[in-house]
Amino acid sequence: MKVLLVDDHPLFIDGLKNMLASSGVEVVGKARDGLEALEKARSLSPDLILMDINMPRCDGVSATRLIKAERPEIRIVMLTMSAEDDDLFAAIRSGASGYLLKTLDTDEFFALFESLARGEVAFSPGLAGRILQEFARDRSQPQASPAASAALSPRQVEVLTLVSNGMTYKEVGAQLGLTERTVKYHMSEIMGQLHLANREEVLAYARGTGLLRTDP
């Protein structure tokens, strides 16, 4: 697994690189802010990015959105001092696959890192529960507010309509002249904006708004 490290503190990032390398992890590069992370993601094609949140020029949440828009297959995990709910929820909604605190001890960090290597998500203790509570509150509300619906672009409405009516991402892409990767990104953005958690909720929303055809 190729790993890119993104942090604006040289001592921390060098120490993390040495720790990972000593455990046999291939660290392919380092970046000091979100914009440099985007450049390195393009040129190095890492499998995983460990990303700080608070950085100059471009923060980690914004960088995650930018990278996932171009390279949705790259997994991004926040590694940060911030345990604030706003940062946590924003990171997950931007496409992050996990959220680790720098206060983890070494054994905890590597246990969670091994779960990432297996393709799982990874959260510092206690954070996953907070995310579930937040998303449960989201689902207890109406499926989408009028403001959220109005925020969808015409292209997003096209994608949502076609997916809701049974097309695969590949088929949607072929019809709209988009790559399958771009369709996946649009669906991720749509679900985030409408606070929808899975395909069933997407279909329920589409049915309620008339986007899902029910005629024989």
In a domain, 214, yes or no: no
Facing residues of 78 across strands?
51, 99
Q: Please, which pLDDT band fits residue 166 given cuts at 50, 70 and 90?
A: confident
In the chain, the percentage of residues whose pLDDT exceeds 90 is 43
Cα torsion 74, 116, 191, 187: sign:
positive
Tokens of 121: 């998500």
119: left (phi over 0), alpha (psi -120 to 50) or beta: left
Q: Residue 101 belongs to what H/E stretch?
A: strand 98-101
Number of domains within the chain = 2
Q: What is the mean pLDDT of residues 92-115?
A: 89
- At 78 the three-state DSSP class reads strand
Name which of 187, 177, 184, 192 is nearest 72 in CA terms. 184
Spatial distance between the Cα atoms of 37 and 56, rounded to a whole number of angstroms: 12
Tokens of 211: 């986007």
- The string of pLDDT tens digits covering residues 114-123 is 888 887 778 8
Q: Are residues 60 and 84 in the same domain?
A: yes
Q: Are residues 64 and 160 in the same domain?
A: no
Q: Are residues 34 and 48 in the same domain?
A: yes
**CATH number, domain at 23?**
3.40.50.2300
In a domain, 216, yes or no: no
